[in-house]
Amino acid sequence: MRKPFIIAEIGTSHQGDRQKARDLIDAAAASGADCVKFQMVYADEILHPNTGTVALPGGNIRLYDRFKALEMPPDFFADLKEYAEALGLDFLCTPFGLRSARELRALGPRAFKIASPELNHEALLREVASYGLPVYLSTGVSKLGDIEEALENLRGAPVCLLHCVTSYPAPPEECNLMLMRNLGAVFGVPTGFSDHTLDPQLAPLLASGLGAAAVEKHFCLSRADSGLDDPIALPPALFAEMARGIRRAALRPFEETRAELAEARGETAVAAVLGDGVKRLAASEEASYGRTNRSLHALCAIPAGTVMTPEAVAPLRTEKRLRPGLPPSWFSKIMGKTAKNTIPAGEGIRFEDIFT
């Protein structure tokens, strides 16, 4: 009997409050989750201070500062892991760089989760692969070759690919759930679905019916809370509705689930969510490709004529304000080379900045 692994993505919705984090874990357990997932954030592992601002209810704030405020020590996560496991839940957490990966490893997790923007973070993937633990790998904002390279960097670790549309919220008609099966056939690994739509039923139930090994969904106590992902997350009642539907769909022939949803939502809506199974960037992701995933950036201003060193370069998310740089796989290729142009602090390091 197949039972999809249901992951409640709490992320950073606790906002550093241990009691709220425990309340979220309690609610996730009561709502039918098998696992609670968090994010171990260190701002310097994710982006440069010059990345730009994000609009929040209190006004615009530097995105870097928002991440900085979410930094928690390892004992914070050790406490949450112990608490979750005492309730019978699995603990899962996302690292964003080598420091967070190593600190998480020291906690003794059963598995790791890699977020879509880190799909091309070569050093992180190889570090996590060296642990030999299962890895859930999200594949939003990616092309087929990106997934292939990521799996090569994760060689040695059991991987479950989580098909994903990295848009908040994701349009249901861009889900292309048939791709989940095709990714499994192409790469020979289990597949699941990380869902960013607002609907607690349509995409998650269809994914379960198609054989998802895991379904991940953002979880909150209330969509009115101030966490970064709370507006698109499911509160407990909706998450519980989703969990019940996922488990029911897992026990039925797929066509029964499809017919039931078609009757409730219309065949056109169901067909749109299923898609054609061809791997492509979703329309809502196209502008983010090369920006939310990693590229090489200057940590400080690099004057023309300066020799490139590891202390001056890091694979970071570009986001909206800065220019993208070379892929992280170019890191070793540019070390020891001389900067041809002056590279401002935070900006991406381009081919033309190094090579004639």
pTM for this prediction: 0.95
The answer to whether the peptide bond before residue 169 is cis (omega within 30 degrees of 0) is: yes
Q: What per-residue confidence (pLDDT) applies to 258?
A: 97
Residue 249 pLDDT > 90, yes or no?
yes
Q: CA 12 from chain center: how many Å?
A: 12
Q: Over the stretch 72-99, which tens digit does the pLDDT of each residue have?
A: 999 999 999 999 999 999 999 999 999 9
Q: Which amino acid is at 339?
A: A
**Is the model's pLDDT at 1 over the cut of 50?**
no
Neighbours of 214 (CB within 10 A): 23
Residue 176 has a pLDDT of 98
Segment 115-121 shows an average pLDDT of 97
pLDDT of the residue at 224 = 87
pLDDT digits (tens, 9 = 90+) for 158-201: 999 999 999 999 999 999 999 999 999 999 999 999 999 999 99
Other CB atoms closer than 10 Å to residue 75's CB: what's the count? 10
pLDDT score of 228: 83
Please tell me the total number of residues recorded for the chain in this structure: 356
pLDDT at 2 over 60: no
Angle at 345 between CA 342 and CA 350, to 5 degrees: 55
Strands 112-114 and 294-298: unpaired
Q: How far apart are CA 10 and CA 204, in angstroms?
A: 17
CATH of 290-353, one of 2.40.10.120, 3.90.1210.10, 3.40.50.20, 3.90.1170.50: 3.90.1210.10
Quickly tell me which residue has 């992280």 as its tokens. Answer: 328
Once rounded to an integer, what is the mean pLDDT over residues 253-264? 97
Predicted confidence at residue 226, as pLDDT, reads 81
Residue 201 DSSP one-character state: S
Overall average pLDDT of the 292-302 stretch = 97
Which pLDDT tens digit goes with each residue over 312-348? Answer: 999 999 998 999 999 999 999 999 999 999 999 999 9
Domains of the chain, residue spans: 5-274, 290-353
Give yes or no for residue 10 having a pLDDT over 50. Answer: yes
User: What sign has the CA pseudo-torsion 296, 301, 306, 312?
Assistant: negative
Region 103-121: mean pLDDT is 98
- Token readout for 327 is 């892929």
Helix/strand/coil for 179 = helix
Residue at 232: amino acid letter: I
Pairing of the two strands 214-218 and 294-298: unpaired
Q: Does domain 5-274 have CATH number 3.40.50.970?
A: no
In DSSP terms, 296 is beta-bridged to 315
pLDDT of 57: 59
Cα dihedral value 63, 287, 229, 8, nearest 10: -130
